[in-house]
């Protein structure tokens, strides 16, 4: 085999992922073999209901005596999912299935360190059981990684939140200078290694207009001193920036990446600007992990109207940037 395969954990069975996956391999042929980790029985059933007709190539979890194919044959590591169990809603059984799928993928990634991972959508509320804010933190725990960062990547403009899936009322408690510095380091290393250039990074404030009526604001106490320290090593940093005007087209020309203080502060404008043409990359793990920028979208299941762009972009990124 000339190139390392791409692992894809199918994720939540009650989601639009099967539809998006079938559309993706129909529209784009990866240069690398793709290995799906999920239930053959479940995918066969979903494939027939959606009107697709692909062949499956079942391979063993250790890859022994396995031929991998590109194109319209789906390489798959089978994870048992008894269809007699309910799969038309999110249940404990689907959570067990997802955990097993991730466990298989992580064992392979530990042995084959040149591989990378894409995962389908996960129900954070049910699968993570409030133990982790998101899948980013779940994989951080599973791989015993110290520092990670979420990057919503688009080749023209990307964003990275300092805090992720936490209540708005708790955001200010989690803003730390060390976390801001960590995000800058991980983003700079990622761009240097995979994209071969030094990114221009903007850092937002937290309060409107980067100020508050209080004597001690997060800008004065944390953000401004941290940016001053970061600039001693990274010259391509600007901030703190007020987000009420930052995301205007003229201003965005000045940055490749904007680091924001909380999830919706930067993901909302990024999704408005990029649509589905963006991917969620976890930086800092022993491997590149990408999640297509969409959720389970249960209301659209079976309608065959979901947009596969983000998954296609995820596969393309691993095709072209991670060789």
> What value does the mean pLDDT take over residues 73-98?
73
Establish whether domains 1-145+285-323 and 150-278 are of one fold. yes
Task: Supply the pLDDT for residue 1.
Answer: 43
> What value does the mean pLDDT take over residues 58-77?
86
Of 7-21, 71-85, 167-181, 268-282, where does mean pLDDT reach its minimum? 71-85
> What value does the mean pLDDT take over residues 256-268?
96
| b (16+ CB within 10 A) / e for 43-70 | beebbeeeebeeeeeebeeebeebebee
Judge contact between 58 and 32, C-beta under 8 A. Answer: no
Task: Supply the pLDDT for residue 243.
Answer: 94
Q: What's the CA gap between 107 and 62, in Å, rounded?
A: 9
Of the CA atoms within 13 Å of residue 296, those in its CB half-sphere come to 17
Task: Supply the pLDDT for residue 48.
Answer: 87
Query: Looking at the predicted structure, is the pLDDT value of residue 52 above 60?
Result: yes
DSSP sequence for 218-252: HIIIIIHHHHHHHTTT-SSEEEEE-HHHHTSHHHH
Q: Which two tokens stand for residue 9?
A: 């954990």
What are the boundaries of each domain within the chain?
Answer: 1-145+285-323, 150-278
> What value does the mean pLDDT take over residues 58-87?
79
Task: Supply the pLDDT for residue 83.
Answer: 54
Which residues, including other chains, have CB under 8 Å from residue 34's CB and lie 6 or more apart? 5, 6, 8, 25, 70, 74, 75, 315
Sheet holding 34-38, edge to edge: 55-58, 73-78, 34-38, 6-9, 116-119, 289-292, 279-283, 149-153, 158-161, 257-260, 201-204, 237-241
> What value does the mean pLDDT take over residues 297-311?
80
Task: Supply the pLDDT for residue 81.
Answer: 73
Average pLDDT over the chain, rounded to an integer: 88
Q: What's the CA gap between 96 and 281, in Å, rounded?
A: 24
Query: Looking at the predicted structure, is the pLDDT value of residue 149 above 50?
Result: yes
CATH architecture of 1-145+285-323: 3-Layer(aba) Sandwich (3.40)
Q: What is the DSSP letter of 200?
A: P
Query: What CATH superfamily classification does 150-278 receive?
Result: Isopropylmalate Dehydrogenase (3.40.718.10)
> What value does the mean pLDDT take over residues 184-204?
96
Between 213 and 70, residue with greater pLDDT: 70
> What value does the mean pLDDT take over residues 208-220?
81
Q: What's the CA gap between 289 and 193, in Å, rounded?
A: 15
Judge contact between 264 and 298, C-beta under 8 A. Answer: no
Task: Supply the pLDDT for residue 301.
Answer: 75
Query: Looking at the predicted structure, is the pLDDT value of residue 303 above 90?
Result: no
């Amino acid at each position: 085999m000339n190139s390392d395969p791409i692992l894809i954990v199918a994720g939540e069975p009650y989601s639009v992922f099967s539809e998006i996956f079938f559309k993706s391999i129909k529209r784009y042929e990866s240069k690398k073999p793709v290995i799906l980790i999920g239930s053959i029985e479940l995918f066969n059933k979903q494939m027939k209901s959606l009107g697709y007709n692909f062949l499956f190539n079942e391979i063993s979890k250790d890859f022994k005596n396995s031929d991998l194919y590109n194109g319209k044959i789906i390489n798959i590591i089978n994870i048992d999912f008894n269809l007699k169990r309910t799969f038309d809603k999110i249940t404990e059984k689907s959570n067990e299935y997802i955990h097993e799928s991730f466990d298989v993928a992580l064992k392979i990634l530990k042995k084959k360190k040149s591989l990378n991972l894409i995962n389908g959508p996960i129900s954070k509320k049910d699968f993570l059981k409030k133990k982790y804010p998101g899948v980013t933190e779940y994989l951080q725990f599973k791989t015993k990684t110290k520092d990670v960062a979420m990057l919503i990547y688009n080749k023209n403009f990307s964003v990275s939140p300092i805090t992720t899936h936490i209540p708005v009322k708790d955001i200010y408690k989690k803003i730390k200078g060390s976390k801001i510095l960590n995000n800058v380091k991980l983003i700079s290393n990622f761009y240097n290694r995979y994209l071969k250039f030094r990114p221009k990074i903007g850092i937002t404030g937290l309060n409107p207009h980067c100020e508050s009526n209080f004597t001690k604001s997060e800008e004065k106490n944390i953000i401004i001193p941290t940016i001053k320290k970061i600039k001693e090593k990274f010259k391509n940093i600007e901030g703190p920036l007020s987000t009420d005007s930052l995301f205007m087209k003229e201003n965005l020309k000045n940055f490749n990446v904007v680091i924001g203080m909380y999830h919706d502060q930067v993901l909302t404008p990024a999704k408005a600007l990029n649509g589905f043409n963006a991917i969620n990359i976890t930086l800092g793990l022993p491997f590149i992990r990408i999640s297509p920028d969409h959720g389970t979208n249960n209301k659209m299941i079976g309608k065959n109207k979901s947009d596969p762009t983000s998954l296609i972009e995820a596969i393309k990124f691993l095709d072209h940037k991670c060789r």
